[in-house]
């Protein structure tokens, strides 16, 4: 009976180690993606500027950002948006769920 409990703990530990490894791998890939971009000549927007650019409220932008609909970068405690990525998002999602008025 004790061996079974140890085995179950081992399974949980294996699952935990696997999931942590996956999270670390995703973060490393994201960091490499950020490093590969040339940000020097790009226009950065604050949350308020990005909301104005998208013609939505700041609250709606924050909601869409937290739900993963809008690409953003964390700079300390504030979010920053690349204008080019927002433009691309608009072009790619013209008929997306929040643009569909039909």
pLDDT at 55: 94
Q: DSSP characters for 4-61?
A: HHHHHHHHHHHHHHHHHHHHHHHHHHHHHHHHHS--TTSPEE-HHHHHHHHTS-HHHH
Name which residue leads in pLDDT, 22 or 2: 22
- In tens, the pLDDT along 10-66 reads 555 555 555 666 666 666 666 655 555 666 678 999 999 999 999 999 999 999 999
Contact 73, 80 (CB under 8 A): yes
pLDDT band at 95 (very low <50, low <70, confident <90, very high): low
pLDDT at 39: 64
Select the CATH number that applies to the domain covering 39-102 from these four: 3.40.50, 1.20.960, 3.40.1360, 1.10.1660.
1.10.1660
- Is the whole model's pTM more than 0.85, yes or no? no
């Amino acid at each position: 009976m004790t061996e079974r409990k140890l085995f179950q703990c081992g399974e949980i530990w294996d699952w935990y180690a696997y999931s942590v490894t996956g999270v670390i791998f995703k973060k490393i890939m994201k960091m490499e993606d950020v490093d590969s971009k040339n940000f020097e000549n790009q226009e950065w927007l604050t949350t308020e500027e990005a909301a104005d650019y998208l013609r939505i409220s700041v609250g709606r932008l924050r909601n869409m950002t937290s739900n993963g609909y809008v690409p953003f970068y964390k700079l300390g405690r504030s979010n920053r948006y690349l204008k080019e990525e927002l433009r691309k998002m608009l072009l790619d999602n013209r008929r997306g769920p929040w643009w569909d008025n039909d």
